[in-house]
Amino acid sequence: MTSTLGLSQLGLVDLLPPSLQTIPEAVGKNMAIARARTGSRIMAVVKADGYGHGAITVAQAAISAGAEWLGTTDIEEASALRAAGLTVPILTWLNPSGFDAEAAATGRIDIAVGSLEELEALLKQTSPAAVRVHLHMDTGMARGGCPVHEWDALIARAWHGHQRGKVRVVGLMGHLPLADQAESEVNAPAISRMYQARKAIMEAGFGAPLTHLAATSGILTDPATHFGMVRLGAGLVGIDPSETTELHGASRLTAPIVHSATAKAGTPVGYGGTYITDTSTSLSVLPLGYADGIPREISSEASVEIHGRRYPVVGRVSMGQIVIDTGADSFPPGTTATVFGPQGGLTPTIYDWACWAGTIPHTIVTGLGPRVRRTII
């Protein structure tokens, strides 16, 4: 094997917006598609750092395009949005580290409460004002949210907290377990449960809660799930889990070639030698691997794009490197390869990578590691 030594510096991989389109433009276009499908308020969900695209950037773009609410994982994420000057209502609903009632009240951050234990923990705390609460009911997922048999107890305890001035129940939320199937009949049980919960909350003495059930798939496929508000998350950055609507990709992942080599026929490539060249060929190394978010379990169909052509990824994915087989074409170090980008042309998409890895596109964009340099335009 003969080789051409790579650049003296390793180089970094870049997450760049698609050509001729900024992240705010892509988010704005996706918001417009969602707006055309619903008359409900839209919450822009920017969990996982805006699905890997920058929470503040995505949130600002969504608000500019008409989003009236923001959604985050926890109070810490919500507080960062407040510190960036965003003033629209924000809801958090996972809060893995627990609730901070004072931070929620001071930051004007709503909290979703999905169990008696969570509510009790909240009521034990002191805060300068009543904490705004959305009751999170299990509508068929068994993955968070209050089980049906505990709804009455949760609502009664919330009413007690309301009378003491500790909480204000302003919202009701649930999840659609089967919305990705894009068949309205599969959503009927969850819809029925939301109406049941809404009625129980109102009969307890609360006003009509702002009710929200649908996320991206429900928004795009089933108006019956929309209620007073919908939650647009993955759809903001171009991911439609229902695969019914072509949205606008908001990013492009590129990396420079850092090493090039000519390999003879019969040369094993990478750990374990799982790929062996069948002819004399050119190989190039890109400085990104599973530590950067490239799935290790990719099929032999995985490829990248260089100068309008696709080249396969060969051998095992390493922690910080992948190898591509460029055949008769030889590229010098510094040549840019595009790992994924928006739909159209020969550039692989996040959907392609999800297919090659046997996963969903969400994991591709949210799995990008800290070495990936984000360039926000």
Core vs surface per residue 80-89: b (16+ CB within 10 A) or e: bbbeeebeeb
DSSP assignment of 152-180: HHHHHHHHHHHHTTSEEEEEEE---TTGG
47 catalytic residue (yes or no): yes
* CB count in 10 Å sphere of residue 331: 19
Instruction: Point out the catalytic residue in the list 166, 271, 311, 351.
Output: 271
Q: Is 271 a catalytic residue?
A: yes
Count Cβ atoms within 10 A of the Cβ of residue 325 and give its class: 0-12 exposed, 13-18 middle, 19 or more buried: buried
Q: Catalytic residue, from 29, 47, 124, 351: name it.
A: 47
Q: Give the H or E element holding residue 284.
A: strand 281-286
Residue 99 near residue 123 (C-beta atoms within 8 A): no
324 touches 277 (CB < 8 A): no
The DSSP bridge partners found for residue 252 are 16
- Dist CA 212 CA 172 (whole Å): 6
Q: Please provide residue 172's backbone torsions phi and psi, each rounded to the nearest 5 degrees.
A: -140, 130
What is the Cα–Cα distance from 123 to 131, expressed in whole angstroms? 9
Residue with tokens 């809404």: 198
Catalytic residues: 47, 271
